[in-house]
């Protein structure tokens, strides 16, 4: 049964992957969000597995990975991109509420997997820790993507001002 669930999750994730590109504007932000989330989740998950707080008895590519590859590299980053897309240009209260709304279902699903499958087992871990980890990672990634966006906008503005200055300088020199 666990292998069937893993196959289903893999196919679901691969099938949903193109949805991050439906909003054609800001694709670079969505890719950055996907990669940052994958990096943070993988780092924390690897650390928890090495310290034996979490284990994944049934997993995809078990000879190559000790963590849940499908979750760390596909499903969790997808959810993070969707969170970033819906929270784009929102105020802080709305961002926090949306982070909560995206974190709770993921935790509910992980709790179910922990109780009824061999996909994840908690040793020195709890669903509360998963909740806070995912919630903080979503907000961290959202904040970093916003910082990149602000930096990029300021770079564009600086280049535009420089171009305007140069154009005016050329006119004056004529």
Helix axes 92-116, 76-86, angle to 10 degrees: 160
Q: How confident is the model at residue 42 (pLDDT cuts 50, 70, 90)?
A: very high
Per-residue pLDDT reduced to its tens digit, 90-99: 999 999 999 9
Output the pTM of the full model.
0.84
Half-sphere exposure of 18 (CA within 13 A, CB side): 2
Q: Return d(Cα 79, Cα 63) in angstroms, integer.
A: 27
Q: For residue 145, what are its two tokens?
A: 């993507």
Domain count, the chain: 1
Is residue 88 within 8 Å of 25, Cβ to Cβ?
Answer: no
% pLDDT > 90, the chain: 79
Confidence check: pLDDT of 172 > 60: no
Count other C-beta atoms under 10 Å from residue 131's C-beta: 18
**Range of 71's domain?**
2-173
Per-residue pLDDT reduced to its tens digit, 69-104: 999 999 999 999 999 999 999 999 999 999 999 999
Q: For residue 148, what are its two tokens?
A: 């990149």
């Amino acid at each position: 049964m666990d292998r069937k669930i893993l196959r289903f999750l893999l196919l679901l994730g691969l099938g949903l992957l193109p949805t991050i590109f439906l909003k054609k504007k800001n694709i670079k932000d969505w890719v950055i969000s996907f990669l940052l989330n994958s990096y943070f989740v993988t780092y924390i998950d690897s650390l928890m597995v090495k310290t034996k707080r979490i284990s994944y008895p049934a997993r995809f590519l078990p000879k190559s990975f000790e963590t849940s590859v499908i979750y760390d590299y596909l499903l969790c980053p997808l959810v993070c991109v969707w969170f970033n897309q819906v929270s784009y240009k929102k105020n802080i209260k709305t961002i926090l509420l949306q982070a909560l709304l995206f974190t709770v279902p993921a935790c509910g699903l992980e709790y179910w997997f922990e109780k009824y499958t061999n996909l994840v087992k908690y040793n020195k871990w709890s669903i509360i820790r998963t909740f806070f980890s995912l919630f903080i990672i979503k907000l961290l990634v959202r904040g970093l993507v916003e910082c990149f966006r602000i930096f990029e906008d300021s770079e564009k503005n600086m280049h535009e001002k420089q171009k305007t200055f140069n154009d005016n300088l050329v006119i004056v020199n004529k």
